[in-house]
Structure 1
Amino acid sequence: MKDPKLTMERSPLGSRFFSSSNTLVVAVSTGVDSMVLLDLLQNLPKLRRPRLIVAHVNHHLRTQSTAEEAFLRAYCRQRNLPLEVAQWAVAEHPAKGIEAAARRFRYSFFATVMDKYQAQAVATAHHQDDLAETVLMKLIRGGRIEQLGALRWQRPFASGALIRPLLALNKQDLRRYAKDHQLTWFEDETNRDLTPFRNRVRHRYLPSLSVENPRLVTALASDAEQINDLLGLANERLGELDATLRTERGFSLAAFRRLSESTQRSYLRYYLTKRGVATIKEEQLHQLVTGLGDQTRPPQSFQLPNQWCLVKGYREAFLKKAGQTAQEGESEGEFVVELGQWYRLRAGGAFSVTRQPDQGSVTTVWLTNNQFPLTCRPVQAGDRLLLKGGTHQRVRRVLIDQKVPRDLRANQRVIVDALGQVVWLVGVKVAWFDRRPGALPVALCQREQ
């Protein structure tokens, strides 16, 4: 058993984020994990204790949500801790995919709080059991090996980082600490519902497998850390390789063909993922490698998910949207926005997102690198637009206020960033993003056809 206090103080995150000169947003649900995290952060040595901002989302998914919010308000008031609370109204809950939608809402709110307080990071209470559950879920479902190392100590987020200070601690360590220090927390009754896959992994599969190896949670967490290290090294090398293969539009076929077949597959995964094509299957990847390597066949296009296609020319291969000409395109459904490319709208006109403003510019927004890639999709229930001052307005309300005819609202599209935040209600209104460190200007353009 580990001492959570000592483990926190020795965390690899400490040298960068645990300082009295820093501001840290702490995501608190009132569950035992987040209450332990909040208590540990408050008890760091004075010189290593950052300014803490508590962030809480009332999802209105359970009857006890109101009591949890009231408890946390009182807790923070007694300890003079700034508290920010967001309400995810029942009317904004989607009929399907509620867990994913809740996560998008939550992390969009955390990013907003970070910007408001100029915080360096958001801290979440993910721990070793969460990491082990994630690894086992990915193994059961299958997929890409990169997903096995999904939970890391830190990753870029909004204008700073998302950090997980409890990853070296397991659930038993946290519960023991909470009881020893007489902390108050709330149990989420839905955690015992075996309908969600994660709950079955947590309460059924992991305990059964732990009979074979009592240290399974630690072993899976160690495996994930090793995978992260290897993936980090691989991405460094692939980034260097990408720089040598890169052409004006894509990559050199001659240089690509000189690589070993395994390196070709690795590079192609890297190239496609970096450009927003992340759902390709291994079978199709093998077909692409074979097709690109065949010098006897003429130029051709390979269809990819989300209306992308990989074009094989005589000297280079490059990505473009299926059915697009060089200057304008026509797209339906959801797709990744290519900077500088024009897209036709079903309701009429066309739009483009570019770093080079032109005569059709609507306005300029300031976006950070981690907000890319941008995605264009139809308006969804619950979409909200960030306003100046940090408040939000529902997109549906914007359309009504702007007197957009009801028959046109069905075809209305939004541009959203990688965090799920609405950047532009195309042709109607632009979100407000403060000019943050590292942000770059992006022009939103529109023209009539």
Structure 2
Amino acid sequence: MALLDLLVEAGARVIAAHVDHQLRADSADESRLLKAYCAARQVKLVETSWPKDLHPATGIEAAARDFRYAFLVKTAKEAGANYILTAHHGDDLAENELIKFIRSGKPQEMNSLQRSGQIHGVKLLRPLLDFSKAELLAYDQQRGLSYILDQTNTEDDTLRNRLRHHVMPQLKRESPQLIAHAGEFSREMTALTAWAIRGMQQIVPESYLDSLRVKSLNLSPTAEFLYWQYQIKTCFNEQIGHFGRWRLVHKAGYDYLIPPAVTEARKKIEPNQPFAFAGRHFCLRTSRIENEDTAWQLLGTFQADGSDFAAGVLPAGLKLNLKNGQHAKAKKKFADHGVPGPMRSHALAIFCANQAVFVEKCYQNQVFSENSPSYWLYYEKNI
């Protein structure tokens, strides 16, 4: 109510958007109060209800938030509004920081309640974060504004309510500047996070097999994890709290981020027909692609007698034929080309009549006749 009244008094073109979550018997009172206020001040009011049959048995707070913001975005877009404004205040911010500290302690999560952001293409603003709840209540009382207290906030059934009732009052007694300090912490964390992200964006990893690598970062373990956490989110849209299925390897001046070992069974492939291996897409062609601007990047070329091809993982201990009639262990070829051990199952191997004729990064067939046909192996760059 304080936010709505401040906007009206400032002369803003505003639409009031209200969700009745139907979680309390008296929730309809909020609608009646808003209708009276908006009618008196000629403010457009858009309302909806959260159907009770959509209320989940668990995670109801998160589900309610998702429904609420979806409605706000829909309302804003239909109205052609430039901004969505919510009335989160300084107490909300301090409580949020405490909750994040208790649940994870991760710096990048501590400033999740920000003053501005984007939500599905609409600018989201929280202009009251520098004001305490007490200041907003005083404003309401000074302006003679009616408001409704959510009775569920008096219960101790959620962590936020327990902090609000038992922890926040004590902290405020210890420091009357608690809300101001919470705001300063949020601003500095936002600035530091933005600065860190700019730094990480400047260290772009390169694709190596189905993994990522960079020149050795020489960072502390914590900073190194934060870097790779950001890159996994950027490159694979995967949010991680620990490396989990990923493996970090330091080898010969490089840092490698490697997914789990590839266990795909060998499969028959046809020349000039695309195929997949370890999440990547390839094509073994009988002629070279002339247009270098296509989505296909040349991986390597080789000659082979026959056309009975298969693709898969190079078996451990396999020996590769050399031009001089001798053999070399595959692991030696990998080592000579600087491919770390944990990555070797990720290297695509092409077999012809069960003999390896190409191994990504380290080998191409050396035993063939003068008239043996040539083959070009490509991978799809945009996958």
Smaller-chain TM-score bracket: 0.5 to 0.7
**In 1, Cα distance between the equivalents of 2:105 and 2:62?**
19
**In 2, Cα distance between the equivalents of 1:206 and 1:76?**
34
Partner of 2:226: 266
Partner of 1:434: none
Question: How does 1:33-44 map onto structure 2 within 5 Å?
Answer: 35-44=1-10
Partner of 1:346: none
| C-alpha deviation, 1:252, in angstroms | 5.1
Partner of 2:43: 81
Q: Work out whether 1:276 is the aligned partner of 2:242.
A: no
Q: Is this contact kept in 1: 2:130–2:179, CA < 8 A?
A: no
Structure 1 letter corresponding to 2:219 = S
After superposition, the C-alpha distances for 1:126-180 in whole angstroms (9 at most, x for unaligned) are 1111111111111122242111111111001122211001011111111111111
**In 1, Cα distance between the equivalents of 2:137 and 2:185?**
24
Q: Is this contact kept in 2: 1:132–1:218, CA < 8 A?
A: no
Q: Work out whether 1:144 is the aligned partner of 2:106.
A: yes
* CA distance 1:199–1:260, shift in 2 (3 Å): same
Question: How does 1:1-400 map onto structure 2 within 5 Å?
Answer: 35-44=1-10, 49-242=11-204, 245-247=205-207, 253=213, 255-262=214-221, 263-274=223-234, 275-281=236-242, 284=243, 291-294=248-251, 302=259, 325-326=279-280
| C-alpha deviation, 1:103, in angstroms | 0.5
**In 2, Cα distance between the equivalents of 1:177 and 1:260?**
50
* CA distance 1:249–1:219, shift in 2 (3 Å): farther
* CA distance 1:128–1:239, shift in 2 (3 Å): same
Partner of 2:267: none
* CA distance 1:86–1:278, shift in 2 (3 Å): same
**In 1, Cα distance between the equivalents of 2:46 and 2:19?**
9
Structure 1 letter corresponding to 2:80 = Q
> Any stretches of 5+ residues in structure 2 without a counterpart?
264-276, 282-294, 296-383
Partner of 1:343: none
**In 2, Cα distance between the equivalents of 1:227 and 1:68?**
35
| C-alpha deviation, 1:205, in angstroms | 1.0
**In 2, Cα distance between the equivalents of 1:78 and 1:264?**
57
- Give secondary structure in 2 for the equivalent of 1:149: coil
**In 2, Cα distance between the equivalents of 1:145 and 1:300?**
22
**In 2, Cα distance between the equivalents of 1:155 and 1:123?**
11
Q: Is this contact kept in 1: 2:90–2:131, CA < 8 A?
A: yes
* CA distance 1:142–1:71, shift in 2 (3 Å): same
Q: Is this contact kept in 2: 1:122–1:162, CA < 8 A?
A: yes
Q: Is this contact kept in 1: 2:97–2:110, CA < 8 A?
A: yes
| C-alpha deviation, 1:74, in angstroms | 2.6
**In 2, Cα distance between the equivalents of 1:78 and 1:122?**
22
**In 2, Cα distance between the equivalents of 1:160 and 1:301?**
37
Q: Across the two proteins, how many residue pairs are aligned to each other?
A: 267
Q: Is this contact kept in 2: 1:120–1:160, CA < 8 A?
A: yes
Q: Is this contact kept in 2: 1:60–1:87, CA < 8 A?
A: yes
**In 1, Cα distance between the equivalents of 2:183 and 2:83?**
23
**In 1, Cα distance between the equivalents of 2:136 and 2:210?**
49
Structure 1 letter corresponding to 2:238 = V
Structure 2 letter corresponding to 1:184 = S
Q: Is this contact kept in 2: 1:148–1:227, CA < 8 A?
A: yes
> Any stretches of 5+ residues in structure 1 without a counterpart?
1-34, 304-308, 312-322, 328-355, 357-449
Query: Scaled by the length of structure 1, what TM-score is found?
Result: 0.54
Q: Is this contact kept in 1: 2:20–2:49, CA < 8 A?
A: yes
**In 1, Cα distance between the equivalents of 2:114 and 2:55?**
29
| C-alpha deviation, 1:181, in angstroms | 0.7
Higher mean Cα deviation, 119-128 or 143-152? Answer: 143-152
Partner of 2:323: none
**In 2, Cα distance between the equivalents of 1:75 and 1:208?**
36
| C-alpha deviation, 1:188, in angstroms | 0.3
Structure 1 letter corresponding to 2:173 = V
Coordinate RMSD, CA, aligned = 3.0
| C-alpha deviation, 1:50, in angstroms | 3.1
* CA distance 1:190–1:264, shift in 2 (3 Å): same
Q: Is this contact kept in 2: 1:194–1:200, CA < 8 A?
A: yes
